[in-house]
């Protein structure tokens, strides 16, 4: 299993993303980073 730390959150990378290659993994990380940032902004409001 591959995990990526987004802030303090340890997020599992879905297997189909993992085996699809680095570009897919980077896309997943970008999406998760945006999600965490949006959640943080929402919590501040």
Partner 1 sequence: MSSVKTQNAFALMAKLEATYGTAISLSAAADGVLLADFADVDFSAFLNDGSRGRAPGGGTRRRVKPSGRVGSMSLPFEAIGGGAAYSASVVPYAHTLFRASGLEATSSFTGGTEFYKYAPEVGPTGLDSVTAEYYEGGQKYQLVGGYGSLSCSVDGPDVPRWMCDLLGIGTTPTDAALPTITGGYPAATLLPPKAESVALTLGLFTAGIVRGFEFDYSRSHDAARKNINSGGHAGYTPGGHSPTMKITVEQVALATVSPWSTSTTLNPYALKDDGQLIVCSLAVGALQYNRWKIYAGASAAALQAQVVDVQDAYDGPTRLWEITVEFKPSSLTLVDSFQIEFN
Would you tell me which residues interact with partner 1 (CB under 8 A)?
A: 1-5, 10, 15-16, 18-19, 21-23, 25-26, 29
Under 8 Å between Cβ of 18 and 45: no
The CA distance from 43 to 16, in Å, is: 31
For the bound state, the minimum distance from the C-beta of residue 18 to partner 1, rounded and expressed in Å, comes to 7
The smaller minimum CB distance to partner 1, of residues 23 and 45, is found at: 23
Nearer to partner 1, 16 or 42 (CB): 16
Q: Are 31 and 37 in contact (CB under 8 A)?
A: no
């Amino acid at each position: 299993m591959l995990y990526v730390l987004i802030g303090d959150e340890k997020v599992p990378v879905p297997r189909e993303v993992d085996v699809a290659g680095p570009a897919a993994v980077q896309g997943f990380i970008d999406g998760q980073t945006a999600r965490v940032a949006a959640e943080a902004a929402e919590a501040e409001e």
